[in-house]
């Protein structure tokens, strides 16, 4: 018969107490972590949630991560806020961070979804080169609230190389669900000139841009990049391709330079799903419908100053509003024309009059 000595029993009890203590401490640490990092607690399923997390702010829809807003421009090398990743309803990203992700090769400043301009008073807010570019500086959030719609109101400054502010911007951001296969990100930009005139010069490289994943690209880009760069890139699947379409029925290269109410880029993701992103121009915008530039059929751009410059005198305001639609399926399957019709009836977030 096995016998357990009094000493064994004391040791066993001590071990049990230590285990219980460790469990209690772990539970306490977990509770502290959740309190310190609320993102560890999933938002309610029916809520559109805003979750600050240091240098980024996460946007959730129906309890699932939708978009990450990288807003902290005090971080080294971050010249402007940008959204990445933005996730389709199948949880796959429809954005890519740079031409060659993880590298400074090529057009690395094509970061997800971003707002920028190549030439404002002879300062570039598009490229990211310390010697010759300005910064769109995050100053703070005035609103960050969750509910049926996730709402953020942000203050920014467009700052030149000498540290002078050319523009002050109020950026309105709203995220909402649009059904099982649709997610919406509405943006309002209120740009005000300060003590000197501000000229947005003529260029294709402005104002709202979205870099899609390599997997969604068109055949020429997939073939050329794979041949040139080999293991540095991954354009798979190589036998399936994306398609660019616009509100006027044009496709692919024909969309570049065309005026349209919206432009959509859809295609295969790395897991085989088809998803896409559409950018929509609000009818209240100046120069509606805007022209579009499709850089290398990889970055889709709503180009406000494609044809001619635009000048703000000191104190004047420019307001522009856009909707970003993230969807599964292609543009037709997602009902993008109907989504634009609905969006066109909505009150713009940013207005030229008022604060």
Give residue limits of the domains in the chain: 6-36, 47-344
The pLDDT of 182-208, averaged and rounded, is 98
Measure Cα distances from 158 to 79, 112, 133, 194, 198 in Å. 10, 20, 11, 10, 11
Contact criterion met (CB below 8 Å) for 185 and 346: no
Above 70 in pLDDT, residue 7? Answer: no
SS (H, E, C) 186-255: EEEEEEEECCCCEEECCCCCEEEEEECCHHHCCHHHHHHHHHHHHHHCCCCCCCCCCEEEECCCCEHHHH
Distance CA 47, CA 66 (A): 12
Give residue 2's pLDDT.
Answer: 36
CB 72 within 8 Å of CB 52 = no
- Confidence band of 26 (pLDDT split at 50, 70, 90): very low
pTM: 0.88
Local confidence band at 46 (pLDDT 50, 70, 90 cut-offs)? confident
- Write out pLDDT tens, residues 128-143: 987 789 999 999 999 9
Query: Over the chain, what is the mean pLDDT?
Result: 89
Beta carbons within 10 angstroms of residue 139's beta carbon:
13
pLDDT given at position 1: 36
Q: With contact defined as beta carbons under 8 Å apart, do 144 and 52 qualify?
A: yes
Reported as a single tens digit per residue, the pLDDT across 221-262 is 999 999 999 999 999 999 999 999 999 999 999 999 999 999
pLDDT tens digits along 49-89: 999 999 999 999 999 999 999 999 999 889 999 999 999 99
Its CATH architecture, for the domain 47-344, is: Distorted Sandwich (2.70)
């Amino acid at each position: 018969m096995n016998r357990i000595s009094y000493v064994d029993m004391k040791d066993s009890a001590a071990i049990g107490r230590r285990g219980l203590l460790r469990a209690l401490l772990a539970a306490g640490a977990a509770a502290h972590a959740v309190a310190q990092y609320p993102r560890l607690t999933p938002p309610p399923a029916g809520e559109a949630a805003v979750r600050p997390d240091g240098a980024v702010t996460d946007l959730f829809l129906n309890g699932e991560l939708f978009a990450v807003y990288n807003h902290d421009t005090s971080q080294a090398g971050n010249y402007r806020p940008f959204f990445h990743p933005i996730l389709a309803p199948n949880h796959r990203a429809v954005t890519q961070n740079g031409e060659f992700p993880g590298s400074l090769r090529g057009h690395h400043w094509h970061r997800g979804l971003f707002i920028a301009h190549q030439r404002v008073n002879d300062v570039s807010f598009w490229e990211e080169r310390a010697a010759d570019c300005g910064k769109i500086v995050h100053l703070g959030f005035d609103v960050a609230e969750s509910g049926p719609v996730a709402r953020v109101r942000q203050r920014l400054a467009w700052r030149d190389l000498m540290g002078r502010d050319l523009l002050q911007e109020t950026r309105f951001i709203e995220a909402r669900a649009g059904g099982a296969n649709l997610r919406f990100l509405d943006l309002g930009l209120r740009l005000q000139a300060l003590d000197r005139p501000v000229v947005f010069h003529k260029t294709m490289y402005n104002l709202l841009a979205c870099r899609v994943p390599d997997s969604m690209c068109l055949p020429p880009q997939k073939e050329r990049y794979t041949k040139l760069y080999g293991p540095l890139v991954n354009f798979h699947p190589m036998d399936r391709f994306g398609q660019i379409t616009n509100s006027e029925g044009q496709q692919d290269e024909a969309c570049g330079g065309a005026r349209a109410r919206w432009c959509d880029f859809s295609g295969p993701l790395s897991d085989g799903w088809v998803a896409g992103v559409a950018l929509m121009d609000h009818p209240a915008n100046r120069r509606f419908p805007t022209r579009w530039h499709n850089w290398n059929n990889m970055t889709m751009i709503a180009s406000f100053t494609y044809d001619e410059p635009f000048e703000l005198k000191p104190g004047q305001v420019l307001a522009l509003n856009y909707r970003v639609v993230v969807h599964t399926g292609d543009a037709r399957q997602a009902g993008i024309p109907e989504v634009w019709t609905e969006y066109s009836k909505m009150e713009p977030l940013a207005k030229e009059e008022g604060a």
